Chains A and B, each alone.
Chain A
Amino acid sequence: MTEILQILVSGCVQGVIYALIAFGYNLTFSTSKTINFSLGNVLMLGGVVGFSLYVDRATGQLLGYPYLVPIIGVLVAGVIAGWVVHKFAVEPSLKLKSEYTWVLATLAMGIIIKNAVEQIWSTGDYRFPSPLGDDPIRIFGAGIYPQEILAVVVATAMVFGIEAFKRYTIYGKAIQAVSEDKETASLMGIPQQQVVKVSFMLSATIATVGGLLVAPWTFVSATMGTSLGTKAYVVAIIGGLESGFGLVVGGLILGISEFVTARYISSGYKELPGFIILILVILIKPSGLFGKKTIKKV
């Protein structure tokens, strides 16, 4: 019982993080039909910036700043990273006739971010002490880190917050209008370019915050975002790129399947079910498990 609970806890935490990053993909996709493939590395940037403002790399000791400093740091880093990716990778690509240049451009941006961090910062793995302590809390015997609870709470709040922002504020409605029909939105006086730009900044900020949240248990390194970024994309495809609810379900499916497989089948096949589901979804329902529902709803 404890064991199943532990698997569910670990799987759900992982799943919610996947969902959060997948939400970052969803945001830019809904406004501009583009995906920021550098999001995994933007997440890493968040982890690294947060770490640099909180921990002394050489000694592993805290610098003594309050946790608010790294929080502000990653928010700023996210906004800047989003702006840069949009300005230099996406905007020029969208102006070109070739439709999918942004795929390579954002991938390249991710590689540049990773290499820059390796050159300027370090290639090592570092421990990020959680502000809430590194001892697990026991709930019915299953261990969960306080940081994981924080991550789940913040991630869920961000997902719901952004959904609410999109539905109930004038700016959010502008985003929805652009995602529905760019030309009409422009005619109605919505600055389409601005909306796309803001969606990139918001999406990158989600990723950098995600990086700060996961850092205490993934370690901080230049490669920390690579696999998270890929898996979140898998989640986005499984759940449906345009459905907020689908992303959460997709995240949980992937997260829990990984832990169940590692425990009951073989740790070597941990990632297999997720990718099998991905292929099945692409074959059977390419818009994702919850893809169509939201299209009708909007």
Chain B
Amino acid sequence: MRLSVVLSFLLAVSLIGCTKKSEDTIKVGVFGPFTGGSAPMGVSMRNGVQIAIDEINASGGVLGKKIQMVDRDDEAKNERGGQIMQEFLDKENVVAVLGPINTGVADASTQYPNQKKVPMIINVSAGAKVNELFKTNPENYVFRIAANDDIQSKVIVGEAMKRGYKKPALLCDDTNYGQNGREKMEGVLKSLNVKPVYIGKFKLKDTDMSAQLQEAKAAGADVLLVYGIGPELAAISNSMSRIGWNPEMIGSWTLAMSNYITNAGKNGNGTKMPQTFIEQAASTPKQKKFVEDYKAKFKESPIASAVSAAQGYDSMYLLKNAIQQANSTEGKKIKEALENFNAPYEGVTGTYAKPFSTTDHEAVKETNVMLGEVKDGIVIQATTPTKK
């Protein structure tokens, strides 16, 4: 207890320190889950942003000012999303916001940037509403650099069809994220006239999925399409080994999380998922440098969630380029610059010529997505990115 008092005192002191020098820095709010089951994604994302900020500051900052990160842990709790956003916008006066990871948290926070006219780039959450917000906010300040659930479900279902499966079973967690993914996958399947033979769900912290798997097996499923986060997805793989049933498993990009890969162990081999960045397949100089910098700075290899780290890094650079182009830190001007980039940006997750427009705030398209596969504790590339 005493420790936490000291810590909060230190935090308070450092906050006072921050507000004083706010005039010569540009503040960027970064939030995500830094504790709990989603933490590998949140921490990796923050680290990715940190690398970008360090690089930018080392080369003189932007508009002659240094960038300063203000980070908050949302603990993957929906209500924390709104609270943190209010703190960012009302108290910290950040120029823009990057994050978060969890769909529910993102959806609970996106109204604030639109109210305050401060741009927000969602850099991991795949399920959050982005382009849907145009209906209520024609001047939408919410952007995304992450393969959204539409793209992911298309890739997941598409891959299953490409491999000739006809009887998919869907198994998704009961959070906003999992159920959103289930709905999208069902939609894609419907458009292809395929009916899932089984649709099941599970709760966070469930450890034995054998009942659901048996039902899927009894329904004659030939492929398992899953949506959830690391620990529970690992429980699915482990339960598959338990009941001795081994259909191919394809699912959300979170199957690349470290807590899936280590917890599933050898039962995770062969699992496939859409990825915007695969550490083992890093080929461009930019990607290789990023992986090396990450390893040197955070002493972590492989990266706990490489996709989150790469998207975090790219989101910071897109923001920096927009600020530079706008020659201002005013929200409206940054937004306009984001929507109308005059120079392409070559990032870790791909090259973005014109990532956003006034009607489309999704940077990642199907062409940016490749298929990853778990193999002996790491994620390798399963196929090259599909070309449109």
Show the binding face of A for B, using Cβ within 8 Å.
3, 6-7, 10, 14, 60, 118-119, 123-127, 134-136, 138, 141-145, 217-219, 221, 223-224, 226-227, 258-260, 262-264, 266-268, 270
Q: Known contacts A6-B243, A124-B39, A143-B244; is A263 also within 8 Å of B238 by CB?
A: no
B214 with A123: CB separation less than 8 A: no
In the bound complex, what is the Cα–Cα distance between A119 and B3 (angstroms)? Answer: 10
A224 CB to closest chain B CB (Å) equals 8
B205 with A227: CB separation less than 8 A: yes
Number of chain B residues close to chain A: CB under 8 A? 34
A267 with B202: CB separation less than 8 A: yes
B375 close to chain A: CB less than 8 A: no
B211 with A123: CB separation less than 8 A: no
B36 with A123: CB separation less than 8 A: yes
Contacts of B230 in A (CB 8 A): 125
> Nearest CB to that of A4 among chain B residues?
B214
Given B40, B231, B241, B242, which contacts A219 in the complex, CB threshold below 8 Å?
Answer: B231
B214 with A3: CB separation less than 8 A: yes
B61 close to chain A: CB less than 8 A: no
B35 close to chain A: CB less than 8 A: yes
The total of Cβ contacts below 8 Å across the A-B interface reads 88
27 cross-chain CB contacts under 8 A: A3-B214, A7-B214, A60-B262, A119-B3, A123-B36, A124-B39, A125-B231, A125-B259, A126-B262, A126-B263, A127-B234, A127-B263, A127-B265, A135-B241, A141-B244, A143-B210, A217-B207, A219-B263, A221-B37, A223-B205, A226-B205, A258-B211, A259-B210, A263-B212, A263-B214, A264-B215, A267-B201
A3 with B202: CB separation less than 8 A: no
B242 with A259: CB separation less than 8 A: no
B200 close to chain A: CB less than 8 A: yes
Q: Known contacts A125-B259, A134-B265, A267-B202; is A10 also within 8 Å of B207 by CB?
A: no
In the bound complex, what is the Cα–Cα distance between A233 and B154 (angstroms)? Answer: 44
B243 with A123: CB separation less than 8 A: no
B262 with A127: CB separation less than 8 A: yes
In the bound complex, what is the Cα–Cα distance between A5 and B200 (angstroms)? Answer: 21
Residue interface bits B190-216, CB-to-A below 8 A is 1, else 0: 000000000011110101101110110
Q: Known contacts A118-B35, A124-B259, A136-B242; is A10 also within 8 Å of B205 by CB?
A: no
